[in-house]
Amino acid sequence: MAKVLKRVRQSIVFRIGGLLLLTAVIAISSMVASYVISDAAQHDAEAINLSGFVRALSYKLTAAAQSGDTQSTREMTAALDKQLQKISTISSFPLSDASTEADNFRAVQQEWQQKIRPLLNDVAAGERAIASRELLAFTDAFVTKVDRLVLDYQRIAEQKVKFLRLVQLASLFATITLVYFSVFTLSRSVEQPLRELISSCREIARGNFRPRLTLHSEDELGLLTQTIRRMSEVIDQTHRQLEERVKEKTKQLRKSHEVLDFQYRLARRISEGTLVGAELKPWLKEFSELTGLNDLDLCLMTPRGETPYEHLIHGRGNQSCTERDCYNCSHACGPSERANQRLYRFPLEADKRNYGVLVCSLPRNQLLHREQQLRLSAFADAITTAITLKERGQQERRVALMNERAIIARELHDSLAQSLSYLKIQVARLNRCTRGENIDRAQISEISEELKQGLDASYRQLRELLTTFRLQVSEGGLHNILCRSVEQYREQHPEIAIELHYELEEIPLTPNEEIHLLQLVREASQNAVYHSWGDRVSISLLPGEGQRVFASVRDNGKGISDAPEKRNHFGMSIMQERASNLGGELIIRRRETGGTEVSFSFIPEYARAQQTQENNQTQADLHLLFASRTNR
């Protein structure tokens, strides 16, 4: 029984199933009882009808006996016996039955068998004379008993109907009660918990992982409620943990963004120009605030020095630093422990050259996170890049200065020095003419005229050299400076029509290529303007086949002489040298229509790089093809 009660308490299905089973049992019992009662009352009406027939037949039998009709009396007597026998069969009262109905039936049978039947037979046979009133009195007494028997059968039938009605009413009440309990159980144990669960599920769907679940039961829905409650608690806890992790990650990303922004601004500042040591201190302070590292040392050294020329400290710095072992400190890497501090060193090294060290000091019981180490390393690399860029810029300026001096020396040697040498020769000739006894005034006048022409040429060359040395490829590039040069020629020589055709806007030329190409064009155009004696000069810079660049200067003057190495043509050797520096081809020729044409062509650096890459790819493909054929 305890197991059944436990099962009822723990299972909604079992409770509802039990209620349905009880309802079915009551319905079936009601139907069975109705059937049994109706079956038992099936012959009650027949018994009443037979009893009434016995009563009517008794009066007929009395009349027939009085008339002396023996045959009729005998037949009616047999009929009445038969009716009583039927009543006995229908009633089937056992001998042990002591009920009133059984006693009344036995009294009727006894009265008939022992008194009425013998009396009526004797009267009909004439064996006994009896008055009609007396015979009728016997018959009435017998009929009275029969009437009592009819009433008994009627009462029995009414009791069965009443019992059937009670059974039906009890079944109806029990059915209604069970239906009510079933509906109540469904409402309390199923509908209300389901409504609460659905409401909780909607709350969970809206993001509220703490729904109010008040159901406490041991059945299936109670188990489901407990499961959802525990699951909601786990989800809520997980959600809160994820929110905390998201906040932490967001904080870390914000910090990383700030550090990246710092590194970007530092890199942009480094790219803008030299970052001197005094300017590093605010950058060091900002880096310390971003990373939360309060004690930093930045020692800057020359590659060959052993002590720092500048020592920047933020916070307390390295308390154990005595500037006695700077070489080993700057070349050390990784963590170390000194006094009450843990030191992390990040050398400023590039190309096997040491420029100092960045030292981070922490309490002895504290470690540096990997992310902080990466940030320190990146900051050290940025400082190293700034120093190397400064050193490289200085080296490039030295090289540029030396190259510029070499160019100036070469230009002076190839132009002004030759003119001065020519003037020196003329002065020597003049001295020889003046030392003799016979002075040839015509020769002296010729020498003086040549000296004047030489001085004019030297002065002109000096001005051209000054213009060349002041030349810069400013914003706008090669096209802009060529346009300005053409404008200067037009202002100085308005009688000469100078045209410029420039179509190299889509070709990326290096600064070195632009300088040499500019000098070539200026040298050729100067020769055309000053020495061609023409009135038209055409300058063209055009792209050609094979990714080559073509530059040409044409004039319609007298044409180049057969001996261009004579005076005023010394710039051609300079143009040849510039052409060789660009790896190009320079051609100077006399035009068939008159005048001179200086043409130059070369392959730019970007095109040479592409051709080299294509050649390397072709060689690699051929090597793979050869290897595949060899393997076959």
Tell me, what's the pLDDT at 540?
Answer: 93
Q: If you average pLDDT over residues 266-282, what whole number do you get? A: 77
List pLDDT tens digits, range 364-383: 777 888 888 888 888 888 88
- Report the chain's C-alpha Rg in angstroms: 69
In this structure, CATH architecture of domain 256-390: 2-Layer Sandwich (3.30)
Q: If you average pLDDT over residues 17-33, what whole number do you get? A: 81
Tell me, what's the pLDDT at 35?
Answer: 76
Positive or negative, the Cα torsion across 52, 58, 61, 63?
Answer: negative
Tell me, what's the pLDDT at 621?
Answer: 77
Report the chain's mean pLDDT, rounded to a whole number.
76
Task: With both helix axes pointing from N to C terminus, report the angle between 511-531 and 441-469 in degrees, rounded to the nearest 10.
Answer: 150
Tell me, what's the pLDDT at 553?
Answer: 92
At residue 542 the predicted structure's pLDDT band, cuts being 50, 70 and 90, is: very high
Query: Does position 570 have pLDDT exceeding 50, yes or no?
Result: no
Phi/psi zone of residue 68: left (φ > 0), alpha (ψ -120 to 50 degrees), beta?
left
Tell me, what's the pLDDT at 48?
Answer: 66
For residue 421, the tally of other CB atoms under 10 A from its CB is 12
Query: Does position 498 have pLDDT exceeding 50, yes or no?
Result: yes
Tell me, what's the pLDDT at 551?
Answer: 92
Positive or negative, the Cα torsion across 43, 45, 47, 49?
Answer: negative
**Mean pLDDT lowest for which of 1-15, 164-178, 195-209, 612-626?**
1-15
Tell me, what's the pLDDT at 504?
Answer: 86
CB–CB of 342/364 below 8 Å?
yes
Domains 256-390 and 477-632 share a fold: no
Tell me, what's the pLDDT at 43?
Answer: 58
Tell me, what's the pLDDT at 539?
Answer: 93
Q: If you average pLDDT over residues 312-335, what whole number do you get? A: 68
At residue 605 the predicted structure's pLDDT band, cuts being 50, 70 and 90, is: confident
Q: If you average pLDDT over residues 156-179, what whole number do you get? A: 82
Q: If you average pLDDT over residues 304-327, what whole number do you get? A: 70
Query: Does position 567 have pLDDT exceeding 50, yes or no?
Result: no
The tokens describing 519, both together, are 């000098």
Query: Does position 544 have pLDDT exceeding 80, yes or no?
Result: yes
List pLDDT tens digits, range 275-296: 766 777 888 888 888 888 888 8
Question: Tell me: domain 477-632, CATH 3.30.565.10, correct?
Answer: yes
Tell me, what's the pLDDT at 40?
Answer: 62
At residue 129 the predicted structure's pLDDT band, cuts being 50, 70 and 90, is: low
Question: pLDDT > 70: what percent of the chain?
Answer: 74
State which amino acid sits at residue 74: R
At residue 606 the predicted structure's pLDDT band, cuts being 50, 70 and 90, is: confident
CB–CB of 140/133 below 8 Å?
no
List pLDDT tens digits, range 379-401: 888 888 888 877 777 776 677 66
Fold entry, domain 2-177? Four Helix Bundle (Hemerythrin (Met), subunit A) (1.20.120)
Residue ranges of the domains in the chain?
2-177, 256-390, 477-632
**Mean pLDDT lowest for which of 351-355, 393-397, 612-616?**
393-397
pTM above 0.85, yes or no: no
Nearest to 337 by CA among 376, 311, 375, 365: 365
